[in-house]
Amino acid sequence: MCRHFIIPDSLRATKNTVYCIKCDHCDWKDMSVDTNNYDQWLNRACEQCGHNLLTEHDYKFVKLLEKLSGVINVIWLPVMLLRSFTKLVLGVSAPKVTFNEYEVKMDGVSQPKMVLKK
């Protein structure tokens, strides 16, 4: 039996966010799309040019990233709990950990690219 639990944002090492969907062939995009309704765009035609907005390949890749993010968060959880414990109980701040933010760019044809956000 698989049990799911939610790790609070403050204890996460990674977080996936779908913040829009855009057509790779024209300038059309919808900024109201998020992680909760992303699957509704699967194999849907662009309103402007008719091209596929979200291929099966890209959708599966996003789902894979979500699973990978979950695994990383579970692995990282003891470290984050220890950091919280040292600050709350001992009053000592642990060394700062810096996280980078990446954007995954997908075009439905080539390999997804991870780009460091500046």
Residue 56: which H helix or E strand, with range? helix 56-88
Question: What per-residue confidence (pLDDT) applies to 38?
Answer: 86
Where residue 49 falls among pLDDT bands split at 50, 70, 90? very high
Where residue 2 falls among pLDDT bands split at 50, 70, 90? very low
Please tell me the distance from the alpha carbon of residue 53 to that of residue 57, in angstroms, as a whole number.
12
Q: Count of domains in the chain?
A: 1
Nearest to 109 by CA among 45, 61, 57: 57
User: Does any domain span residue 104?
Assistant: yes
Q: Which residue has the higher pLDDT, 5 or 29?
A: 29
Q: What pTM was computed for the model? A: 0.71
- Cα–Cα distances in angstroms (integers) from residue 27 to residues 7, 23, 45, 64, 114, in the given order: 36, 6, 14, 27, 21
Structural domain range at position 83: 17-116
Nearest to 21 by CA among 10, 9, 30, 8: 30
User: Does any domain span residue 6?
Assistant: no
Tens of pLDDT, residue by residue over 50-84, are 999 998 988 888 888 888 888 888 888 888 888 77
Structure tokens at 65: 């990233």
Handedness of CA 111, 45, 56, 104 (dihedral sign): positive
Question: What per-residue confidence (pLDDT) applies to 50?
Answer: 94
User: Does any domain span residue 105?
Assistant: yes
User: Does any domain span residue 11?
Assistant: no
User: Does any domain span residue 7?
Assistant: no
User: Does any domain span residue 41?
Assistant: yes
Question: What per-residue confidence (pLDDT) applies to 46?
Answer: 94
User: Does any domain span residue 99?
Assistant: yes
Question: What per-residue confidence (pLDDT) applies to 4?
Answer: 58
Question: What per-residue confidence (pLDDT) applies to 24?
Answer: 85
User: Does any domain span residue 44?
Assistant: yes
